[in-house]
Amino acid sequence: MELTFYGGANEIGGNKIIIQEKDTNIFLDFGISYKKSNEFFEFPLLQPSNIDDLLKTRLIPDLEGLYSYHNYKAEYNKEGPVKIIKKSEDRKYDALLLSHAHMDHYGYIGLLREDIPIYLSEISNKIIELYSRAGRNDFHVKLRHLLFEKLKKNSELQIGDLTVKRYDVDHSILGSSAYFIQGKSSIAYTGDLRLHGKRNYLTEEFLKLIEKEDVEYLLCEGTRLGLSNTEDEKSVEEKALNSESEVKEKCFEIIESEEDLIIYDASQADLDRIEILCEVAKKTGRKLLIDSKKAFLLLYMNDENILVEDLPKIENFSILLGRSKLGTNTKLCKEITEDCPGFYLETFKTGRRYHEKEMLNSDSFVGENFIWGPNLRKEVLSNPNEYIIYTSNGPLLLLHCTRYKESFSGTYIYGKAEPFTEEMEFTFNRLLKWLELYNLKLEYAHTSGHCFPNDIKKAIEMINPKNLIPIHTEHPEEFKKITPKGIKILEPVLYQKLNL
């Protein structure tokens, strides 16, 4: 058995790990390394636009029989493209096991061949599908051709020479998985997980089951290890609370003593956090407004069958639509702007796209479910103590919520701290400028999606592997402090094979 790391070694995120035994090759995750990507690219003007751009910057490995576009080459003449030449390459990879729907774990799957099955939980599959319906359509996450295979909790599957088992674990996104892979040797893969979240019982159950297995190698995430060594993360990470119930308590305290508006800013896919804010809104007698992408994820998670029992429903909140320009070619716009062509007019329904269009066209919601446009926003801002706005993009919300010379006051609660999530494109410093512009008070109410060092220690002790391989951490050396003496630590090196 061999392991090769094309990401996730000595870095947080970007997991791309191959397990090989005889003729069987399985990938664990296929995510974006934001840190490496930001070394070469910058949003939005300097972005990769095809697989070549990712290969030449070594953001993805150059491997035969893995990518769908590897089979084609374009030919050009002086006038332009002429034809596509097809070569045929055999598939070399048997499967991909996906841990969860965060971009640093799945962001490049759109590049894979259509005949490589992607195994994942039903909820992860749903989240990825909803993201795609909400307009996340970069070439590297295009999903149309992909073969998704949903794996039930604790179910077993034979892939070539390897047996694979999937477990549910708790993380800051629903549907997260850990895996156990058995061949000549055996490997447990934690994915991202925690023991202090709302669904910590899932991680506990996983530990109880994997404890009974003979784990030779444990691929263990260590996101939070050694964090206080890095100055940047210290400020936000040190303010992180110990549990989701502490987040609830703190939000309640802040909101109860605030007489103006509350804006709560949390990572997009963390649906459990919305539930907390729903409860706090109810208790403090405020109405909750949720930005449209978050609301879409929440409301459509259960659209064919119930995947998650206890999610808030539309009765508990209103949907805050983004500011959207009425198209200049529409009849209405032409009529109104006759004397002032180009004038910025907002639209309610006409011309909305993706998830907003889907929700506006749905029979499940009525006009009153939506807050849009200058009038309704002004009504909210003139009764600030009646509302909580829940967003995952604070600067964009602040840009959209007022017109010139309109203002409001209140508290902005920052509820995310995870490094390397997709939302990190909006840097914290930029957010501070926006808060300064509106003179908003800043508070923190967040807990991490990843295990505290003591919980990682507990997990390692329970699993009791023969060898530990640190992944998803910038401080693999920190594992020495928490790993029992008899367990050997093997630090992975990028692009190097580890013979098991």
Binding site for Zn ion (CB under 5 A): 102, 192
What is the Cα–Cα distance from 446 to 273, expressed in whole angstroms? 9
First and final C-alpha spacing in the chain: 5
Task: Please give the full DSSP string across 425-456, using - where no structure is assigned.
Answer: GS-HHHHHHHHHHHT-EEEE--B-SS--HHHH
> 248 exposed, middle or buried (CB, 10 Å; 0-12, 13-18, 19+)?
buried
**Residue in this structure with the two tokens 């997260």, named with its chain if needed:** 176
In the complex, the smallest distance separating the C-beta of residue 67 from Zn ion, rounded to whole angstroms, is 24
Closer of 324 and 447 to Zn ion (Cβ): 447
Closer of 192 and 478 to Zn ion (Cβ): 192
Strands 497-499 and 2-5 come out as: antiparallel
In the complex, the smallest distance separating the C-beta of residue 470 from Zn ion, rounded to whole angstroms, is 16
Closer of 37 and 316 to Zn ion (Cβ): 37
Strands 95-97 and 156-159 come out as: unpaired
Write out 98-142 in H/E/C secondary structure: CCCCCHHHHCCHHHECCCCCEEECHHHHHHHHHHHHCCCCCHHHC
Closer of 102 and 113 to Zn ion (Cβ): 102
**Do 320 and 289 contact (CB within 8 A), yes or no?**
yes
In the complex, the smallest distance separating the C-beta of residue 170 from Zn ion, rounded to whole angstroms, is 11
In the complex, the smallest distance separating the C-beta of residue 449 from Zn ion, rounded to whole angstroms, is 6
E strand residue ranges, 204-278: 217-221, 261-265
Closer of 140 and 472 to Zn ion (Cβ): 472
In the complex, the smallest distance separating the C-beta of residue 274 from Zn ion, rounded to whole angstroms, is 18
Closer of 192 and 258 to Zn ion (Cβ): 192
Distance (Å) of CA 258 to CA 8, 140, 237, 261, 412: 42, 43, 24, 7, 11
Q: What is the separation of C-alpha 444 from the centre of its chain, rounded to a whole number of angstroms?
A: 20
Closer of 94 and 192 to Zn ion (Cβ): 192
In the complex, the smallest distance separating the C-beta of residue 102 from Zn ion, rounded to whole angstroms, is 4
In the complex, the smallest distance separating the C-beta of residue 34 from Zn ion, rounded to whole angstroms, is 12
